[in-house]
Amino acid sequence: MAHVIGTERRHKKCEDLNLISTASDTVSGLVDSIQKELKELPSLPSNCSIYRVPKPLRKIKPGAYRPRMVSIGPFHRYKKHLQPMEAHKLRYLNDLLSRKSQPNLGDYVKAVTKLEYRARQCYSEIIQLKSEDEFVKMMLIDGCFILELILRTNNPHEPRRRDDLILNATWMSQVIKSDLILLENQLPFFVLESLYKRFTGNSNSSGLDTLISRFFQDFVPQPQSITPESSQFRRISEVAKNVLISVTRWPSMKKNQGEVVDPLLKVEAASTIKDKETPAAEEPEEENSKAKHLLDFVRDLLLQSFSAKPENRGKFALTRSATQLNEASVEFVKLPKTCLLNITFSKGVLKIPTMRIEDWTEPLLRNLIAFEQSHDDYSHEITDYAAFIDGLVNSPKDVELLEKKGIIESLLGEPEEVAALFNSLLKEVSPTIMDGNYYFSSICHELEEHYKIPRHKWKASLMRNYCNTPWAFISFLAAVFLLILTVVQTICSILQVTISSQPYM
């Protein structure tokens, strides 16, 4: 019996040792597996500027972030409905190369290849395409497509080609232009600059800024003027400004000693001569552009006269609706089409730049807000602007009031659509306006203090009820005059009675 018990104990001990050994082998295997994955883990991009739109934002308005006609960059490259545009991209590449007498595709390929690593770092995801060389090919074709589209659009004298389905159809060119300002549909701006330099043969790419500004002029509700006071936007030289003027004056193509010469190249040649007079080293490819991509470029245009003043910023404060403020004697005055942030309030007058609302307005604002939400390093002026207007617009009546004052110019149709647009812009948006850095903090506090003063409401009520029409005003004056006469008559009667009641001396 004792022998049997001893045998069982030895078996149990062996089993325990086997379990311990097996567990140890499992731990060792897991450690090796995890260490291998850690070694193979690619590093995250260090210079992101092109992001996926967060799912909470996307679910509010999916179509505002999705390209409809053309894919730019890797995020939507293989979408089936965007494939027909790939052939047009190649046609535009061929036409761009044909603008010079001896097109050399190899120069463009070399230029983009040098930028491949830096360009990959601009995307928030590790880019994996079907082949090893496809990333460079994509950057080249998409970048040249954008350049050719901008060049054709900026030269009104260039004859329209019968096979150019994009510019021959106004609706299509507008849709493509809208696709180019989507956050997920971007190329790094330095790629466009590099391609433009190869195209012009000039190390100065300042002319590209002017061409892009002109290209997106419909999306920017202010004059295309770049001022030295702009805190965000790159200064554009006088030579760059002359690019657009020259393009509009010269015909598209000229024959010069049997060689086809593009007017844009003439302008850049003049710019090169000027550069030689004041020699400077070529800008290194690694230097960061101030604009990250086309969406960021448009954002700079919208804020071109913006000057960040620390005293304007503070804690978030609620803005009363336009009708409420109007009932407290706040006068709404439209400003010329300048920077969106040039909103001021003084002596009961709220001045706001005119905002034009079209089909592309909502996608543009949503993508700009998504871009500002992508990283803490980005300022959030567009988000602050959306929060301020959202406070003013609570109902269709607010929209009607702002339309009447010329502050909103809507091409959407009913005021309900405009109200719904602004009331949904900040849904699922992280509350960056609550961080004590709200741009319109002081204005909101001043409006609230003005609203709380009772006499302002009495004044507004008087003006609304008795002075809203000439006849009402005349009736009001007549009533006041009769009241004064009645008071005078009453006083005279009292005096007469008082005098007659005194004893006769």
- % of the chain exceeding 70 in pLDDT: 68
**pLDDT reported for residue 114:** 95
**pLDDT reported for residue 480:** 61
Window from 116-120, 137-141, 171-175 with minimum mean pLDDT: 171-175
Average pLDDT over residues 390-419: 91
Mean pLDDT score of the chain, rounded to an integer? 77
Average pLDDT over residues 200-218: 85
User: How many Å apart are CA 276 and CA 499, to the nearest integer?
Assistant: 102
Window from 7-11, 126-130, 464-468 with minimum mean pLDDT: 464-468
All residues at 6 or more sequence positions from 220 whose CB lies less than 8 Å from its CB, including other chains = 213, 298, 301, 302
Would you state the structure tokens that stand for residue 213, as one six-digit string?
């500004």
**pLDDT reported for residue 312:** 63
- Given a cut of 60, whether residue 340 has pLDDT beyond it is yes
Name the residue with higher pLDDT: 19 or 31.
31
User: How many Å apart are CA 408 and CA 422, to the nearest integer?
Assistant: 12
- Given a cut of 80, whether residue 405 has pLDDT beyond it is yes
All residues at 6 or more sequence positions from 262 whose CB lies less than 8 Å from its CB, including other chains = 99, 100, 252, 253
User: How many Å apart are CA 348 and CA 5, to the nearest integer?
Assistant: 99
Confidence of residue 413 (pLDDT cuts 50, 70, 90): confident
**pLDDT reported for residue 37:** 72
**pLDDT reported for residue 328:** 84
- Given a cut of 70, whether residue 346 has pLDDT beyond it is yes
Window from 26-30, 159-163, 213-217, 317-321 with minimum mean pLDDT: 159-163
DSSP letter, residue 305: T
Window from 200-214, 259-273, 337-351 with minimum mean pLDDT: 259-273
Average pLDDT over residues 371-376: 87
**pLDDT reported for residue 497:** 67
Average pLDDT over residues 386-403: 93
**pLDDT reported for residue 329:** 84
How confident is the model over 427-437, as pLDDT tens digits?
988 765 556 78
Helical packing angle, 134-154 and 206-215, nearest 10°: 70
Average pLDDT over residues 452-459: 63
**pLDDT reported for residue 333:** 93
Window from 10-24, 211-225, 240-254, 356-370 with minimum mean pLDDT: 240-254
* N- to C-terminal Cα separation, the chain: 151
Confidence of residue 11 (pLDDT cuts 50, 70, 90): low
User: DSSP alpha helices (H): ranges in 353-440?
Assistant: 361-373, 381-392, 396-404, 415-424
Return the top range by mean pLDDT from 126-135, 138-147, 250-259: 138-147
Name the residue with higher pLDDT: 237 or 114.
114
Average pLDDT over residues 121-137: 91
DSSP string spanning 121-183? TTBSS----SSTTHHHHHHHHHHHHHHHHHHHHH-TTSPPPTT-TTTTSHHHHHHHHHHTT-T
How confident is the model over 259-316, as pLDDT tens digits?
444 445 444 444 443 443 333 333 444 444 579 999 999 999 888 765 555 456 778 8
Q: Does an H or E element contain 344, and which?
A: strand 344-346
Q: Phi and psi (nearest 5°) for 123? A: -100, 145
